[in-house]
Structure 1
Amino acid sequence: MGFRFQKRIKLGGGLGLNISKSGISPSLRTKMGTFSKSGYSVKTGISGVRYQNSGCLLLFAFAGITTFLIFTLKHI
């Protein structure tokens, strides 16, 4: 089992710095998810479950729309 270190420093307005073994990286948190230089993650509305990807922004748009629909249908 490997050792993992991660710390987030909040800068305000959803901006923050993530500090880990591999270095420091900026990130932006929104109601829909988190954007960083290594990719993004989207909240699904299910406790403890999120979608994470380090690739195409088009795929992020699809995941964002899907998440929005889940939230909308969940509250009807």
Structure 2
Amino acid sequence: MGFRFQKRINLGGGLGLNISKSGISPSLRTKMGTFSKYGYSVKTGIPGVKYQNSGCLVIFAFTGLLTFLIFTIKHL
């Protein structure tokens, strides 16, 4: 069994830094899911079940923008 280390530092507003053995990476948590440079995961509403994709940065940027727009429209 391998050794695993992971720590998240909250920066506020859903932004955070994930620290692990492989390095430091930024991420953004929203009510819909989590977005990072490695991909995204979306909450399904079923406890313990989520959709996770390790897609490219273009998909990450598009999904992040879409989430931001939906969140902004809901709170107008």
TM-score (structure 1 length as normaliser): 0.72
Structure 1: gaps spanning 5 or more residues: 62-76
User: What is aligned with 1:67?
Assistant: none
Can you give the 5+ residue segments of structure 2 that lack an aligned partner in the other structure?
Answer: 64-76
- Aligned pairs for 1:12-23 (under 5 A) are 12-23=12-23
TM-score in terms of structure 2 length: 0.72
- The answer as to 2:47 corresponding to 1:36 is no
Structure 1 Cα separation of the partners of residues 44 and 3 of structure 2: 27
SS of 1:35's partner is strand
Hey, what does 1:53 align to over in structure 2? 53
Aligned length: 61
RMSD across aligned positions (CA): 2.1
Q: Displaced runs of 4+ in structure 1, greater than 6 A?
A: none
Give me the whole-angstrom Cα distance separating, in 1, the residues matched to 2:2 and 2:48. 22
Distance, in Å, in 1 between the alignment partners of 2:44 and 2:6 is: 23
**Seq. identity, %:** 88
For residues 12 and 52 of structure 1, what CA distance do their matches in structure 2 show?
23
Query: Post-superposition shift, 1:2?
Result: 1.6
Matched, 1:6 2:15: no
CA distance, structure 2, for counterparts of residue 16 and residue 50 of structure 1: 20
